[in-house]
């Protein structure tokens, strides 16, 4: 066997081995992403106070996962984690539409179809935009890329999700899902102009995401440092 061919085989095996290792390192990110999507799809249906849902406190974790993957492994692996997490999350959410819950004398699906669609669409667009913006500011100060990308991504996520999930204009997406409660006309956050309730929920959700984007900088810095030390 020629030396060139015999020398090439170990390189090929090493390449395959490296790919397996990289896939394994991405698995925690994929699982974290899928967990966040599924949990948020359920929690967004339950109010926390008057203007927030419990999902407002869990969904922002997805941006932390994406930014950590982007900083440590690069944009390509970050996109693969987003796409894999998106696929798993959508499948689990669609399964949730077939699970019926009971409460207050009513039977309702654990996840409505509109929430599943809105969550999936908002997640995919917002996360991919997050990755793109992160890359533009990657070379700057360590906090600039995760902060700016998360602020923009969170804004898109909120606007897309609440519009698809609760806007009366999109009732045709799921005629059997009564979201009339979300269309109740009330002052914005209790003191602003009169708007549908879901708009107040969206604004409050957006404000929480902005606050959590700032708080997430500390765990982002710590997690990136630990993962980077393992890969070097």
Residue 205: closest CA among 172, 169, 162: 162
- Class of the 15-231 domain? mainly alpha
SS3 109: strand
Extents of the domains making up the chain: 15-231
Q: Where are the beta strands (DSSP E) in 122-193?
A: 185-187
CB within 8 Å of 209: residues ≥ 6 apart: 56, 59, 60, 150, 154, 155, 157, 158
- The C-alpha atoms of residue 189 and residue 24 are separated, in whole angstroms, by 45
* Tokens linked to 52: 């927030």
Instruction: Spell out the per-residue pLDDT of the chain, length 232, in tens.
Output: 333 333 344 444 444 343 444 467 778 888 888 788 777 767 876 878 888 888 889 888 999 999 999 999 899 989 988 988 788 777 877 777 777 766 666 667 667 788 888 888 888 999 999 999 999 999 989 999 999 999 999 999 999 988 998 888 888 778 777 788 888 899 998 888 999 988 998 999 899 999 999 999 999 999 999 888 876 5
> What CA–CA distance (Å, rounded) separates 38 from 42?
7
């Amino acid at each position: 066997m020629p030396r060139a061919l015999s020398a090439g085989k170990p390189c090929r095996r090493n390449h395959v081995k490296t790919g397996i290792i990289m896939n394994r390192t991405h698995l925690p990110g994929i699982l974290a992403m899928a967990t966040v999507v599924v949990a948020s799809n359920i929690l967004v249906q339950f109010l926390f106070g008057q203007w927030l849902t419990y999902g407002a406190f869990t969904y922002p974790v997805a941006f932390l996962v994406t930014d950590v993957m982007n900083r440590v492994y690069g944009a390509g692996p970050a996109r693969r984690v987003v796409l894999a997490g998106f696929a798993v999350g959508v499948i689990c959410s669609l399964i949730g539409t077939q699970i019926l819950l009971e409460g207050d004398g009513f039977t309702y699906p654990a996840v409505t179809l509109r929430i599943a669609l809105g969550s999936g669409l908002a997640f995919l667009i917002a996360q991919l935009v997050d990755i793109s913006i992160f890359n533009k500011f990657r070379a700057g100060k360590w906090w600039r890329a995760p902060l700016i990308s998360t602020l923009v991504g969170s804004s898109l996520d909120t606007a897309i999700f609440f519009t698809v999930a609760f806007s009366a204009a999109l009732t045709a997406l799921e005629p059997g899902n009564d979201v009339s409660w979300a269309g109740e006309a009330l002052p914005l956050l209790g003191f602003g102009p009169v708007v549908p309730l879901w708009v107040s929920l969206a604004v409050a959700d957006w404000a929480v995401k902005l606050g959590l984007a700032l708080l997430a900088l500390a765990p982002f810095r710590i997690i990136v440092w630990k993962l980077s030390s393992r890969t070097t």
